[in-house]
Structures are given as C-alpha cells and as structure tokens.
Amino acid sequence: MLSRPMTGDGCGAELFREAHFEGLKAACAEDPEIWKIYANNFGPDGFRASIDGYVSNPRNRTFVLFERDEIAGMSSFLGIDEAHQVLEIGGTYCRPKFRGTDFNRRAKDMMLRRAFDCGIRRVEFRVDARNGRSQAAMKKLGAVREGVMRADRITWTGHIRDTVLFAILKDEYDA
C-alpha cells in the first residue's frame, strides 16, 4: 500500500517510473547547486545513477511529486522497516518555483498520512546539518529534533556530513 499513488491538498505523488525520467531529470536540473548539500547527486551528471540507486533498493519507494498536473519534485520512503514500523521520508527536492510556498508541507502531510495509515508508527527525517531550510521545514512540520549524528556519512562530493535527525510519531501527528 505504501507504493500506491497518493493525493493530497492540490498535490499528488506517483511511484517513479521510467516514463518520468526526462521530466524529473529536467526538474532536478533547475537548481544544480543544491545537490552539493545532498547525500546523492540528482543533478544532470548524477541523475541516472542516483535515481537507479534509489529505485533498485527494495526498502525504498521513490515518488514523483505533482502540483496539480505539473512535476514539482520528488520524495521517497527510505529504509522501510515494516517489522519495526519505521521509515524515513527523504531525498526530497522541490523545484525552485515551489519553494517558499506551502507545497512541501502539503506533500509531506500527504506522505505522513500514507505512512501512518499503512501501519508505520515512526517517521524519520535526516537532514544535512548545513541545510538550514530543510531543518526549519521539519520544525514547522512538527518533527522533533532528536540530535546530531556526527560524521554520519560521506556525500557524493566527499563531504563528511553531520546529519540532524528529526522524527514524528504516529500518536503525536496532527494533520
């Protein structure tokens, strides 16, 4: 059920298919500089390898996000662990024209509702410590900042990343 298309308040999500490749790649190419603070490079030079890595992992579900009928970006359920009822929402990218609007909030609410309706009890968000915009968005969403995982991973640029961990529990989420 996690993989089914989603609809929210003026937004939607479809599981990534090869038919989405060119449109999503073009959307991700609108801000090539942003990928420097992401763990993976979804910019023009790294898009194929990154999207293939996400969709080939059986514990991930990668979605193309839409505002009405227009591609607005992407987001994923990552590291799905149904036995422990935990997953991460991550790899989220919104095209520049949708930033500063309520699109990200509506898309995250749609994804949170789906996760919780499917029996997930804990949703995590892992944010590069350098990404202040995403950290502010997590706080607005009501996610609890649980701490910093120091030197958590090496990004595609070679940067050793500190990751800020946020989470929302099913019983504390109020859409």
| Tens-digit pLDDT profile for residues 9-68 | 999 999 999 999 999 999 999 999 999 999 999 999 999 999 999 999 999 999 999 999
Largest CA distance in the chain: 41
The arithmetic mean of pLDDT across residues 119-148, rounded, is: 95
pLDDT at 175: 60
The pTM score is: 0.95
Query: Where do the DSSP E strands lie in the chain?
Result: 6-7, 11-15, 61-67, 70-81, 86-94, 122-128, 144-154, 160-169
Say yes or no to pLDDT of 174 above 90: no
